[in-house]
Amino acid sequence: MARPSMLRRTIATPLILSALLVAFALVAWLAGSRPFNQTVIDIFLQVIFVVGLYTFVGNSGVISFGHIAFACLGGYVAAWTTIKPMMKGVSMPGLPDWLMQLEIPFWAAAVAGGGFAAFWALVFGAVLMRLSGIAASIATFAMLAMVNSIYSNWTSVTAATSSVVGIPIVRTVWPYLIAAIIVVFIAWAFAISRYGLALRAARDEPTAAAASGVDIPRVRLIAFVISGAIMGAGGALYAHSIGLVTPDTFYLGLTFTTLSMLVVGGIGSLSGAVLGVLILSSLIQGLRWLEAGVQVGASTIALPGGVQEIALGAVMILILMFRPAGIMGNSELTGRIARTEKPGEPGEN
Amino acid sequence: MSLVSLSNVSVRYGRLTAVRGVTFTLAEGEILFITGPNGAGKSSLLRAIAGVTPPAGGRIDFADHDITGRAPEDIARLGLSMVPEGRDVFGSLTIEENLMVGTGMHARERSWKARAANELEAVYATFPILKERRHTQAGLLSGGQQQMLVIGRALMTNPRLVAIDEPSLGLAPNITDQVYERLITLRAERRLTLLIVEQSSTRAMMVGGRMMLMRGGEILLDGDARALGQSEAMQAAYFGYGEH
Amino acid sequence: MKRLTAILAATTCLSGAAFADDERIVVGFATAETGFMQAYDKPAQDAAMIRIAEINAAGGLLGKQIEVVNADTKTDRAEGAKAGLSVIDQGADMVVVSCDYDFGAPAALAAESSGLISFFLCAESIKAGIQGVGPNSFSASVLAAVQGATMAEWAYNKKEARTFYRLLDTWTEYNKGICDGFDWMMPQLADATLVGEDTFLNEDASIAAQITRIKSLPEEPDAIMLCTMMPGAVSAIKQLRAAGINSMILNGSGVDGSYWLSAVPDLSNFFVPVQGSIYGDDPNPDVTAFNAKFKEVTGGDPSTQYTYPGYVMIDVWAKAVERAGTTETSAVVAELEKMNGEPTLFGPRTFTSELHHQNQARYLIVETNAGKPGVVDEWTISAPIPVADLMK
Amino acid sequence: MAPIMQVVFDALSLGSLYALGALGIALIFGVMRLVNFAHGDVIAFCVFALLWPSVDAVAIIFAGNLPWFLLIPFTLAVGAGLSVLSEVVVFRRFRRANPATMMIASFALGFVIRYFLLMLFSSRPKSISLLPGLSQPVELLGARIPLLQLITILVTIAVLIGLTAFLRRTRFGLEMRAAAENFTMARMLGVRANRVIMGAFALSGALAAAIALILGSQTGTANIMMGASVMLMAFIATVIGGMGSLAGAVIAGFALGAIATVMQVILPPDARAFRDAFVYGAVILVLIFRPQGLLAARGTKERV
């Protein structure tokens, strides 16, 4: 496992990121507005998704279009395990008896969702991790489409395309904050672990890493499973944040939002993953306020409806134009003013 | 008058510096070998001259133009023909198509088609095997034939300078002999300037001409190939540090 | 125009916040002002605003003027939850949510957990109500299943249709609902047979394979029950006719409107159930008058029958509030549940403690003949569809 | 069972759409390793270019009323123009960026185009009667198929022949093929990068416009999402075909069309809804056994 020196050297990154998240939560708490509170919950969920994505994509360098499939798996676990048995019987009559009777708290559902997603990540990953490059990306996309197609049509177990409601809604920001912080620490711990180092070495120097005896598919699989688990837990929490799931929620829209946030933040950086979410979410929120209208003196200035999305796309393009490696590139926030570095970059010891 | 002149050129890949402040000139009609161990920065230097990797510093002149940071196609159009390492043939194109790709740069000039046809015949005359298999996909050729093809392709544009990266890499010695024989003949026929990168100095010593030794991104020695090849300085520079 | 409403909305909520809560009657619209659903929410919301304006002009509700607050769901579920919370925080007594069940549910759930009534503008799934959201949730429209059942029974009785083919677009719950109603009705029609069935996806670029299956039947079916919606519906209809299939096509209300008919020139033998006619030939002259008023207010004719439920919604809710004498949720819900065949401009409405939706309704049948749609008949299914069957 | 010929035509016409789409994506991928996610939105844009901007339900036909011999060149020009514009304004700045960055940039661009259309036209599908003469059935080889289906197939074949001739017989085509295989080497032989890339974008845009015309005539609607499903399948076809291999993209496009059609025919009704799951499963299988695609472009080095 990671050496103590590396722990000390890199621990600042997750601490700073957690502090940022806590700051957001405090703002939400102080603002006391329920819609704003919900916005911050949304941001934390995005942080979980994007950090989950980073754990695989950032370390392995393989772009995955399929991770939202794990969020879907997790989201439905929440539906299966937390809805009142009577309601489940109506909307999803095909569930096995023991599951039908089960009613667990939301945090347990998040853990179960993570576990279920991890299991399927292991199954899919065992097959997919042998691929690399764009073939792997497309295969993950095919996986997403498969999961979506199955969940959209398996009426008795997933209620097909219909929204599954009755999931207990959790509207306080704290559980999401805690989950996001835990996820940031998991991602950090993985990144500085032996596996994380090996994976990044393989990403940067595939031939050299293969020659040095790193079993790339296996290490990738480990990352895939961990990130799948994070996505699954995130999916379950997402379900609890709005109280319903549909397969449609966990498809292309969310896939591209999360990928964009990761790329804008910096694909190979944990700080980038978190900052990407915070920056793009703030941008979206700001544009929405503008769209709703801002009071300037006596008059209200409002952007025409729909401009928000267009502006968001344009700003993303501009950010990438000037920072093609994302806002953070490959570096991390370390709290030092001097040059930042990757956690445990090989060769610096 | 010099055809190529480099002053204080350096090349970087990220944090890695491959070429450090290299300066030299090359006269028209000259033949220059750049030798040195693996990782000396020879190929990087060549790629910088051809415009593939823009230099991080310094200045490169070619045929009275400042070509520092210019696009590869602009440099090619000034008469610099590059044959990169690893015989980059267009595998799915036929031999004849491979040869014709470069002639497009003269399409604005009058009677370029006739000239291209002449060039084609000249290349075929030099490398009869290419003519024989002119409609074969280039990917199906043997290594030696591919090397002939890329050299032929480089000549099709009627260049002033041909820069070749490791023409003997992966070729059987007798084929390498053939390739060199052709290059020497061509140089005599066309007053070509040749810039050849080779890992070992043996070839340079056989062919003759000027030779430079690179190591660690710098030019350590520069002089007559035959004289230098036997000198102790050369031995020391090349083998003294050696590759491990 | 849209910007104007946005400004109005912004000022309304600012000025509104100054009043004490119980002094006001506030309707909160957590609907899509931008994005995909906007085209569907806007007309129904406009119709609702017309009814609100009428009530306010006639002295208001319980002597108070009805105020309106808005929040945009951006056609996004997570945003929908926020929009719901946002209008609730602005003091809404009743929350109007997006037309589609999937997009409206997050806001409706927010209302439900705050103990407020929510009304779906025009959702047609049984889940848009008690079964999905909870005991305080209603829908202003009619269940999709009723549409499928209506078309099957009507075609059987009035058009002598005996052989049916069922073509389902599995994209949405609405589509499946239509076919569920059709499936419920079929066994009740003696000697009617289902000669085949198939599925497709709304986004399929081509349904050639599905058409080939129809064409390989020994005989063209009398009627094709087409359970789909926009935008894929036009494509499917066009391809069916282009392949030379001339069977009558039965639809849900989702394909109502003449705006798309130019895509299938000279379309004939095509039937749609509607709650009211936008074509100016509604048997009830008041509907035509409403259409004129709608045009006066919004500048355009209603483009589909989905404009109407918005009007019905405010109508029945206001009546219930009037009868209850308060906007307090349980009292209003109790009054709503007492409604049995309550007359509205667009047919009678019934709510019970079991179902906050219509499982039987009077439908006008619109036939499109040579590209011209017009009301040809009126039909109410012979028995309401039992809730148990709807929950399958 | 459906008559075999009928199924063959169904498969060919669906495959044609996918093949044209895949070709458009592969052309751009070949020259700049960009997976262009905006392609689907270019398709939608081409259809909407025939309409006058309005958020009313009823479409105001603008260029859509042109006679076919003007309509077709107009649409092709719109597609090529938008595509070239996207290269000049956006993608040119991403030449040295890594493929993931480019991919997200293209997605963002598609997002902008889509919401631009949404703002101008609203989300309600607009009906548009394009080339209405094509909506009649014809009798062929014992199968009764819509004329449009036949025309789709014929147009695709014509486009493929035309494109092949262009690529094989013209100097520009030669340069483009060389560039697609090894862009740097082509540049070192004096091939002008900007011209070739712009040419590829123009061709790709024109192909998108061709799909737009076919889809528009077939569905009779203009809808902001209309390019999306073709784009997804085309994208997959490009990868299965071997990224950058034009012939591979076309073959894989037809293969996907055939698989989807045959699945629809042979699957039992209950399983038909899961058709896409089977298709995507097949895609994974192909990738496992041929990660480089069916016809890997020789010399194409993975850069992802």
Q: pLDDT of B67-107, one tens digit each? A: 998 999 999 999 999 988 877 888 888 999 999 998 888 87
Quick one: pLDDT at residue C12?
42
Q: How many whole angstroms separate alpha carbon A32 and alpha carbon C320?
A: 33
Mean pLDDT value of segment D256-261: 89
Mean pLDDT value of segment C168-177: 88
Distances (CA, A) of A171 to A23, A42, A168, C113, C117: 18, 11, 10, 10, 19
Distances (CA, A) of A183 to A116, A179, A230, A330, C150: 17, 6, 7, 19, 53
Q: How many whole angstroms separate alpha carbon B18 and alpha carbon B217?
A: 5
Quick one: pLDDT at residue A15?
93
Task: Provide the CA A306 distance to its chain's centre, in angstroms.
Answer: 26
Alpha helices in chain D (DSSP H): 4-32, 39-48, 68-89, 99-121, 147-169, 171-181, 183-188, 193-219, 228-240, 246-266, 269-272, 275-289
Q: How many whole angstroms separate alpha carbon D7 and alpha carbon D18?
A: 17
C2-142+285-337, which class in CATH? alpha beta
Per-residue pLDDT at D83 exceeds 80: yes
- Closest CB from D125, D148, D260 relative to C234: D125
So where are chain D's domains?
A: 4-289
Annotate D37-72 with three-state secondary structure: CCHHHHHHHHHHCCEECCCCCCCEECHHHCCHHHHH
Q: How many whole angstroms separate alpha carbon D155 and alpha carbon D217?
A: 13
Q: How many residues does chain C have?
A: 392
Q: Which of A237-241, A295-299, C204-208, D277-281 has the lowest mean pLDDT?
A: A295-299
For residue C366, the SS3 value is strand
| Run of H or E including D135 | none
Distances (CA, A) of B15 to A203, A225, A288, B53, B74: 17, 33, 42, 15, 28
Per-residue tens of pLDDT for chain A, all 349 residues: 456 777 888 888 999 999 999 999 999 888 888 888 989 999 999 999 999 999 999 999 888 999 999 999 999 999 999 998 888 887 888 899 899 899 999 999 999 999 999 999 999 999 898 888 778 888 898 999 999 999 988 888 888 878 888 899 998 999 999 999 999 999 999 999 989 988 988 888 777 777 777 788 899 999 999 999 999 999 999 999 988 899 988 998 899 889 889 988 998 899 999 999 999 999 888 888 887 777 776 677 777 777 888 888 898 899 888 888 888 887 888 866 444 444 433 333 3
D window 43-102, beta carbon within 8 A of C: 55-59
Quote the minimal CA–CA distance from A169 to chain D in Å. 31
Quote the minimal CA–CA distance from D214 to chain C in Å. 10
Contacts of D237 in chain A (CB under 8 A): none
Model confidence at B1, pLDDT cuts 50, 70, 90, reads: low
Q: How many whole angstroms separate alpha carbon C197 and alpha carbon C166?
A: 5
Q: How many whole angstroms separate alpha carbon A152 and alpha carbon D275?
A: 12
Per-residue pLDDT at D247 exceeds 60: yes
Quick one: pLDDT at residue A335?
67
Paired sense of beta strands D221-222 and D126-127, if any: antiparallel
**Architecture of B2-86+160-240 per CATH?**
3-Layer(aba) Sandwich (3.40)
DSSP state of B238: I
Residue owning tokens 């407020």: C116
Higher pLDDT, D19 or B228: D19
Q: How many whole angstroms separate alpha carbon C59 and alpha carbon C65?
A: 7
Question: Do C109 and C58 touch, CB atoms closer than 8 A?
Answer: no
Q: How many CB atoms lie within 10 A of CB B235?
A: 12
Contacts of A241 in chain C (CB under 8 A): 78, 81
Per-residue pLDDT at D62 exceeds 80: no
Q: How many whole angstroms separate alpha carbon A101 and alpha carbon A89?
A: 9
Give the ipTM of the model, two decimals please.
Answer: 0.79
Q: How many whole angstroms separate alpha carbon A140 and alpha carbon B113?
A: 49
Quick one: pLDDT at residue B62?
92
Model confidence at D232, pLDDT cuts 50, 70, 90, reads: confident
With a pLDDT cut of 90, the percent of chain A lying above it is: 45
Q: How many whole angstroms separate alpha carbon C170 and alpha carbon C290?
A: 35
Question: Do C114 and C80 touch, CB atoms closer than 8 A?
Answer: no
| Run of H or E including A142 | helix A133-153
So where are chain B's domains?
A: 2-86+160-240
Quote the minimal CA–CA distance from D293 to chain C in Å. 24
Q: For chain A, which chains pass the contact test of at least 3 CB pairs under 8 Å?
A: C, D
Mean pLDDT value of segment C185-214: 89
The two structure tokens encoding residue A135: 């073939």
Per-residue pLDDT at B133 exceeds 70: yes
Residue B226 has phi, psi (to 5 degrees) of -70, -45
Quote the minimal CA–CA distance from D32 to chain B in Å. 15
Quick one: pLDDT at residue A214?
77
So where are chain A's domains?
A: 4-251
D181 and B92 within 8 Å at the Cβ level: the answer is: yes
Model confidence at D296, pLDDT cuts 50, 70, 90, reads: low
Q: How many whole angstroms separate alpha carbon C175 and alpha carbon C236?
A: 13
Quick one: pLDDT at residue B225?
84
* Average pLDDT score, chain D: 84
Phi-psi region of C136 (alpha: psi -120 to 50; beta: other; left: phi over 0): alpha
Residue owning tokens 């049509």: A153
Quote the minimal CA–CA distance from D2 to chain C in Å. 5
Per-residue pLDDT at C155 exceeds 60: yes
Quick one: pLDDT at residue A3?
62
Give the nearest chain C residue to D265 (CA atoms). C209
A246 and C11 within 8 Å at the Cβ level: the answer is: no
Q: Is A306 on the interface with C (CB under 8 A)?
A: yes
- Closest CB from D99, D103, D118 relative to A306: D118
Residue A282 has phi, psi (to 5 degrees) of -65, -40
Crossing angle for the helix pair D147-169 and D193-219, to the nearest 10 degrees? 170
Question: Do A267 and A326 touch, CB atoms closer than 8 A?
Answer: yes
Quick one: pLDDT at residue A50?
97
**Looking at the domain D4-289, which fold is it?**
ABC transporter involved in vitamin B12 uptake, BtuC (1.10.3470)
Q: How many CB atoms lie within 10 A of CB A282?
A: 13
The two structure tokens encoding residue B157: 């544009």
Quick one: pLDDT at residue C6?
44
Give yes or no for a cis peptide into B55 (omega within 30° of 0).
no
D window 121-140, beta carbon within 8 A of C: 122-129, 132, 134-137
Quick one: pLDDT at residue D253?
93
Q: How many CB atoms lie within 10 A of CB C27?
A: 25
Look at the alpha carbons of D261, D266, D271, D272 in this order and tell me if their dihedral is positive or negative. positive
* Average pLDDT score, chain B: 86
With a pLDDT cut of 70, the percent of chain D lying above it is: 91
Per-residue pLDDT at D294 exceeds 80: no
Q: Which residues of B126-151 are buried (b: 16+ CB within 10 A; e: fewer)?
A: bbeebeebeeebbeebeebbbbbbbb
Model confidence at B205, pLDDT cuts 50, 70, 90, reads: confident
| Run of H or E including C193 | strand C193-200
C101 and A152 within 8 Å at the Cβ level: the answer is: no
pTM of the model: 0.83
Q: How many residues does chain B have?
A: 244
Q: Is A257 on the interface with C (CB under 8 A)?
A: no
Paired sense of beta strands B193-198 and B31-35, if any: parallel
Interchain touch D–A (≥3 Cβ pairs closer than 8 Å): yes
Q: Per-residue pLDDT tens for C95-128? A: 999 988 888 999 999 999 899 999 999 889 888 8
Model confidence at C392, pLDDT cuts 50, 70, 90, reads: low
Task: Name the residue among A91, D277, A157, A149 with its Cα closest to residue C170.
Answer: A149
Q: Which residues of B81-90 are buried (b: 16+ CB within 10 A; e: fewer)?
A: bbbbbebbbb
Per-residue pLDDT at C294 exceeds 80: yes
Quick one: pLDDT at residue B105?
82
Quote the minimal CA–CA distance from A217 to chain C in Å. 36
Q: Is D270 on the interface with A (CB under 8 A)?
A: no
Residue C349 has phi, psi (to 5 degrees) of -130, 140
Contacts of A291 in chain C (CB under 8 A): 6, 34, 72
Q: What residues contact residue C300 under an 8 Å CB cut-off, 6+ apart?
A: D56, D57
Angle at Cα D190 formed by Cα D184 and Cα D193, nearest 5°? Answer: 55
Higher pLDDT, B60 or D141: B60
- Closest CB from D171, D181, D192 relative to B91: D181
Phi-psi region of B216 (alpha: psi -120 to 50; beta: other; left: phi over 0): left
Q: How many whole angstroms separate alpha carbon A167 and alpha carbon C173?
A: 19
Mean pLDDT value of segment C128-133: 88
Residue C198 one-letter amino acid: D
Options 2.40.10.10, 1.10.3210.10, 3.40.50.1000, 3.40.50.2300; CATH for C144-274+362-390 is 3.40.50.2300
Look at the alpha carbons of B172, B177, B180, B186 in this order and tell me if their dihedral is positive or negative. negative
* DSSP assignment of C247-263: SEEEE-GGG--STTGGG
Q: What share of chain A is helix, strand, coil (3-state, %, to 5)?
A: 70, 5, 25
Residue C326 has phi, psi (to 5 degrees) of -155, 165
The two structure tokens encoding residue A94: 């095909």
Annotate C71-140 with three-state secondary structure: EECCCCHHHHHHHHHHHHHCCCCEEEECCCHHHHHHHHHHHHHCCCEEEECCCCCCCCCCCCCCCCEEEC
Question: From edge to edge, which strands make up the β-sheet containing C66-72?
Answer: C66-72, C25-31, C94-97, C117-120, C137-139
- Closest CB from A134, A150, A304 relative to D119: A304
Residue owning tokens 């499973």: A225
Look at the alpha carbons of C107, C109, C115, C121 in this order and tell me if their dihedral is positive or negative. positive
C203 and D56 within 8 Å at the Cβ level: the answer is: no
Angle at Cα C320 formed by Cα C317 and Cα C326, nearest 5°? Answer: 105
